[in-house]
Amino acid sequence: MAMECLRISLLLIVAAFHTSSKATVLDSKDSTTLMPVTTSSKVSSVLRDILNQENLVRLTVVQRMPSLMMNAKDFRKKAYTLVESLKSITEEMQILKAENQRQKDELTVLKEDVRQIKITQANCSSVLLSFKKNHLDFSLAVTEIIKHMLCDENAQLLSSDSRVLSGKFLKIIFINY
């Protein structure tokens, strides 16, 4: 802002000097005699105007300097706050990246565990099916054996009953006679 005011004041000075020099040249061309009093009064008037403009610019700069300094302090505070926020956000991002990586690793381990469990489950299922088949075969064999034993026992009972009956029949016959 101060640099801008200085540039403006320099432009005004150059423009005022240029205008006054043109006026002096024009005046000298039009008139046949040089009037040193008029020229020097114009120069002094232009210089006075330039000094007044410079004083105005300097006064404006001086008036605006405290607010510029306050703005600069505010900007520094805001910049510091933004830098600290950026550091905080960067640290938080690093923490989140580490947490994300840890969770990815954990997920990989869990997927491997699930794969192992599926393999174990498949093995257990095949063993269970084998046990079921063996149990069914064993049950069928036991059922056949029991049937044979029952048939043999019934046959034995029938043969022993017939001897007992025949013996009783003989007794009855002897008793009755």
pLDDT at 25: 44
pLDDT at 106: 96
Q: Would you give per-residue pLDDT tens digits along the chain (177 residues)?
A: 656 666 676 666 666 665 554 444 444 444 444 445 567 788 888 888 988 998 998 888 888 888 888 888 999 999 999 999 999 999 999 999 999 999 999 999 999 999 999 999 999 888 889 989 999 999 898 888 888 888 877 777 666 655 555 555 555 555 654
Residue boundaries of the structural domains of the chain: 2-176
Q: Is 1 helix (H, G, I), strand (E, B) or coil?
A: coil
DSSP string computed for 93-153: HHHHHHHHHHHHHHHHHHHHHHHHHHHHHHHHHHHHHHHHHHHHHHHHHHHHHHHHHHHHH
In this prediction the pTM is: 0.40
pLDDT at 76: 92
Q: Is 35 helix (H, G, I), strand (E, B) or coil?
A: coil
pLDDT at 103: 96
pLDDT at 83: 95
